[in-house]
A and B are shown apart, each in its own frame.
Chain A
Amino acid sequence: MKKLLSSKSLGALIAIVLAYVIVQTLIMVGIVDDYYQILLVTICINIILAVSLNLITGFTGQFSLGHAGFMAIGAYVCGYITVTMDQQFSFLLGILAGAVAAAFVGILIGIPTLRLKGDYLAIATLGMGEIIRILILNIEAVGGASGLSIPQFANWTWVYLFTVATVVIIKNFIDSTHGRACISIREDEIASEAMGINTTRYKVTAFAIGAFFAGIAGALYSLYFYFIKPDQFGFMKSIDILVIVVLGGLGNIRGSIIASVILPSISSYLQEYPELKMVIYSLVLIVIMLLKNKGMTGFKQFIWGKIRKNQSAT
């Protein structure tokens, strides 16, 4: 119990509750309208996706380009169960089923592909994501190319709850002996194996946990946006998630969260200039990456450094 109430985790708990209370008040007062709520939910789902991909790519060092595939499995399994059962709380069962299905596919695909390294693995996972998408496209029961409509069960509160749970669980995992085993694979696979770590098992474990939470993200997506189509989960979606992870910093959970907030915000702000949107967005990415290839924390240090310099100059 002492551990649970250490000052650090107490601070985190307060921050989590406070963030919720503030947003909830803003929603009730009417400052945060539907448009901003959608943005908030997008941010939360991005956080789940980015943190779970960071576990695979940033911490375990396995370059994966198929994260949207796991998201699609979660979305479709959850959507299908919710629609067919149509009970009050069947959506919770749907989320769980979606996540478990994604994790299962993660294990199935992980065992053969995780023998590959670096860019080879990236291409294999890219192919895997596409295969999942094409398969769903051809399943009539879930609407094929015309998509699937689902009753809107999830609201901002549910999404927030799952986001917090995801971050806490993945953080706990990383700080455990199992997480250290994963990180040692990234650092030096041969040494890791020589120190008694079953590297194959831990690569697959990390892959499965990452897929599990990507499944949750997909399920929440389907339950909040109540309409899903296979092409929403194409490989550009995987790239989007990867961009967030790289921007936030590989192996940096806080960075992933910050990047998950900033990127959708920029993109939503740029909605007003549709013809320039992608150009500016890409430029912003290039500039940030150039400023510091260590990702967001480096960027933060850079910005602070500039501000301090300016202050001392004036």
Chain B
Amino acid sequence: MTLLTVKNLTKSFGGLTAVSNVNMSIEKGELVGLIGPNGAGKTTVFNLLTGVYVPSSGTIELDVDGNPKLLNGLKPYRITKSGIARTFQNIRLFKDLTVLDNVRIAIHHEVKYGLIPAFFRLPSFGREEKEISERAEKLLQIFSLDQKKFELAKNLSYGEQRRLEIARALAANPSLLLLDEPAAGMNPNETAELTELIRWIRKEFNLTILLIEHDMSLVMKICERIYVLDYGMVIANGTPDEIKKNKRVIEAYLGEEIQDA
């Protein structure tokens, strides 16, 4: 079953077309990679999928439960509610809040108690707050951050901050998880651990994952399918082995072969 269908997605900023006519489709449960040289428009695609940017043209459709839903032009918080959560390339945690609060905030959109129970601490407040905290702590345990739940997010190490961002995205309870360069700045050991973690959460949470990554060892190891983007266009789409041999991909990364005269 297809979870995400992107058709002719285009985004221009003034005269510059950052993403042009991108077509993508992601099956439920797939782990798909999105790669491409710097400036190819990968993060722009993410920003379009999550509503940070409004597409200039084209459609984005998410089908979580058999009812396809058009996401174009929806506000980011609505898209998150519909089932897409993300991490950011340049970590965007709530730095001055505790690790626990970072995760609890992402659960907010499922909380049902209103303002009045909050003002007067009515029973529904206590009950739901307890649930929120339990859920958040369970997630932190999975990411081995439960020992640090009362520390401020800014005091975590870089690797921990990356993990916390994934934990926070999972707290929003997505069907599709977008990871923007999760291994950026990690050493090979940390990357190997992260690879395992991504595999594991995908199974555990029954997730579909789309990830942007520069670290080819990670991409080639865990992605089942890869989209390659160059100058805002999809130039290839296939399994890691197919992508490795694809001539256009090699050209995009290394430049064209010089023709001997």
List the interface of chain A (C-beta within 8 A of B): 3-4, 169, 172-173, 176-181, 183-184, 187-188, 190-199, 205
Are B52 and A187 in touch, CB under 8 angstroms? no
Are B126 and A196 in touch, CB under 8 angstroms? no
Are A177 and B77 in touch, CB under 8 angstroms? no
Are A196 and B81 in touch, CB under 8 angstroms? yes
A180-B108 contact given A172-B120, A194-B76, CB 8 Å threshold: yes
Are A177 and B95 in touch, CB under 8 angstroms? no
User: Which residues of chain A are near B179, meaning CB under 8 Å?
Assistant: none
Are B104 and A173 in touch, CB under 8 angstroms? no
Q: B101 an interface residue at 8 Å Cβ cutoff?
A: yes
Are A188 and B76 in touch, CB under 8 angstroms? no
Are A180 and B104 in touch, CB under 8 angstroms? yes
List the interface of chain B (C-beta within 8 A of A): 50, 52, 75-77, 80-81, 85-86, 88, 92-97, 101, 104-109, 111, 113, 115, 118-121, 125-126, 128-129, 132, 168-169, 172
Are A196 and B108 in touch, CB under 8 angstroms? yes
Are A187 and B97 in touch, CB under 8 angstroms? yes
User: Which residues of chain A are near B88, meaning CB under 8 Å?
Assistant: 191, 194
A and B contact pairs by CB, cutoff 8 A, 19 listed: A169-B120, A172-B118, A172-B119, A172-B121, A176-B125, A177-B108, A177-B132, A178-B118, A187-B94, A187-B97, A188-B95, A193-B75, A193-B77, A194-B85, A194-B86, A195-B77, A195-B106, A195-B172, A196-B81
Are B52 and A179 in touch, CB under 8 angstroms? no
- Complex Cα–Cα for A192 and B85 (A): 12
Q: How far is the CB of A104 from chain B (nearest CB, A)?
A: 15
User: Which residues of chain B are near A193, meaning CB under 8 Å?
Assistant: 75-77
Q: Is the interface of B mostly helix, strand, loop or mixed?
A: helix
- Complex Cα–Cα for A191 and B85 (A): 11
- Complex Cα–Cα for A96 and B115 (A): 18
- A-B CB pair tally, cutoff 8 Å: 97
Q: How far is the CB of B110 from chain A (nearest CB, A)?
A: 8
Are B119 and A169 in touch, CB under 8 angstroms? yes
Are B111 and A177 in touch, CB under 8 angstroms? yes
Pick from B52, B119, B121: contact of A194, CB under 8 Å: B52
User: Which residues of chain B are near A197, meaning CB under 8 Å?
Assistant: 77, 105, 108-109
Q: How far is the CB of A185 from chain B (nearest CB, A)?
A: 10
Q: How far is the CB of B131 from chain A (nearest CB, A)?
A: 11
Are A173 and B108 in touch, CB under 8 angstroms? no
Q: How far is the CB of B208 from chain A (nearest CB, A)?
A: 18
Given A177-B132, A187-B95, A191-B92; 17 other pairs, CB 8 A cutoff: A3-B121, A173-B118, A177-B104, A177-B108, A177-B113, A180-B105, A181-B105, A183-B97, A188-B92, A190-B76, A194-B80, A194-B85, A195-B80, A195-B169, A196-B172, A197-B77, A205-B115
- Complex Cα–Cα for A179 and B118 (A): 9
Are A191 and B93 in touch, CB under 8 angstroms? yes
- Complex Cα–Cα for A169 and B106 (A): 24
- Complex Cα–Cα for A178 and B93 (A): 18
User: Which residues of chain B are near A173, meaning CB under 8 Å?
Assistant: 115, 118-119
Are A195 and B120 in touch, CB under 8 angstroms? no
User: Which residues of chain B are near A187, meaning CB under 8 Å?
Assistant: 94-97
Residue of A nearest to B103 (CB): A195
- Complex Cα–Cα for A178 and B109 (A): 10
Are A195 and B119 in touch, CB under 8 angstroms? no
